[in-house]
Amino acid sequence: MSGEHGELPVAARVRRLEERMIAAGLATDTELDEILEQVFAFASPVNGARMVARAWKDPAYRDRLLADGNAAAAELGLGAGAQGYLLKAVENTPAVHNMIVCPLCSCYPTALLGPSPSWYKSFAYRSRAVREPRAVLAEFGLELPESTEIRVWDANSEAATWSCRCARKAPGRWTKLSCPPSSPGTGSSVPPPGKQTVPGRPGGQRRPITCSSPLPPHRKPPPDACCPHRTAGRDRHGRGGPGHEGDVERRVLPGR
């Protein structure tokens, strides 16, 4: 993140707003900092990766995940992350590939999947995903056969949809969880967030709260959580990014 708080006009504007809110009794320095500490500590793609990894290992859990995403999250102690919306998981298959978009405002299940990527919030993705999904996927390096139907899910804040492929692989192919799952948007690999610190408060001391990502020590997943090894975002067939290995699971609606 940028260092100096006051370098940009917008940064100064934010600082003024904070000061006015604090003066009006709407907020405190401590509360503002604590909010960010919680975000950095608990919102991570590792949470979603645990669910996907369990689905790969445990067919019964996979079925439960497909049936009820919220309950499946709660099973792994992640119910709080899926609170306030209906979590639906759908599955990518060779016949159907799923994409998620929120054209209106970029809704995203941050607590379970970490920060939404910049591309997900971009005007280009929001506008083009529903109109020309195949071209959008190609820009991520994913060329799907014409025979593969692409289903674009226009999600809203009350319903988050995950997309992934239920890859059942031999245990030997799996490695320890060392990378985040793919984005639910297109399935592209999400790089681990860099170190994030709580930025300083206006007029106050900067608090060096550093949260290493994606695995803060106290959130280290159990040994059986793992994800398939990925090489530069490509699966074993050499296909790139979106929609393949490591995607979060997405449910295919009845075929039409």
Partner 1 sequence: MGGQTGFGPVPTGDNGQFFHADWEARVYAIVRVLQRRGVINAAFDDLRDAIERIPPAEYLTMSYYERWLRAAEMLLAERGLLGR
Partner 2 sequence: MTRFTAGARVRARAADPDGHTRLPRYARGHIGEVVEVRAAWPLPDDAVRGVFALSRSMRCASPRPRCGIRGLHSVIIDMWESYLEEAP
For partner 2, which stretch binds (CB under 8 A), given 25-33, 127-135, 196-204, 226-234? 127-135
Nearer to partner 2, 4 or 158 (CB): 158
3 state DSSP class of 67: helix
- Contact between 49 and partner 1 per CB under 8 A: no
Compute the least distance from the CB of residue 146 to partner 2, in Å: 4
Closer of 74 and 86 to partner 2 (Cβ): 86
**Interatomic CA distance for residues 189 and 238, integer angstroms:** 14
If the CB atoms of residues 32 and 215 are measured against partner 1, the closer one turns out to be 32
Among 56, 108, 140, 153, binds partner 1 (CB under 8 A): 140
β-bridge partners, 159: 86, 156
* 252 binds, options partner 1, partner 2, none, Cβ within 5 to 8 A by partner type: none
CA atoms within 13 A on the CB side of 94: 1
Amino acid at 127: S
The verdict on whether omega for the bond into residue 214 sits within 30 degrees of 0, i.e. cis, is yes
The single-letter code of the amino acid at 235 is D
E strands present in the chain:
86-92, 96-101, 149-154, 159-165, 174-176, 196-197, 210-211, 226-228
- In the three-class reduction of DSSP (H, G, I as helix; E, B as strand; rest coil), residue 25 is classed as coil
**Which of 67, 80, 105, 253 lies at the binding interface for partner 1 (CB under 8 A)?**
105
Alpha carbons 151 and 39: distance in angstroms, whole number? 31
Q: Considering the rule CB under 8 A, would residue 190 count as an interface residue with partner 1?
A: yes
Which of 17, 35, 71, 104 is in the footprint of partner 2 by CB under 8 A? 104
CB 179 within 8 A of CB 114: no
Q: Which residues are catalytic?
A: 102, 105-107
Residues that bind partner 1 (CB under 8 A): 1-3, 5, 8, 10-11, 13-15, 17-18, 20-21, 23-24, 26-27, 31-33, 35-36, 39-40, 43, 84, 101, 103-106, 114-115, 117-119, 121-131, 136, 139-140, 154, 157-158, 180, 188, 190-194, 196, 198-200, 213
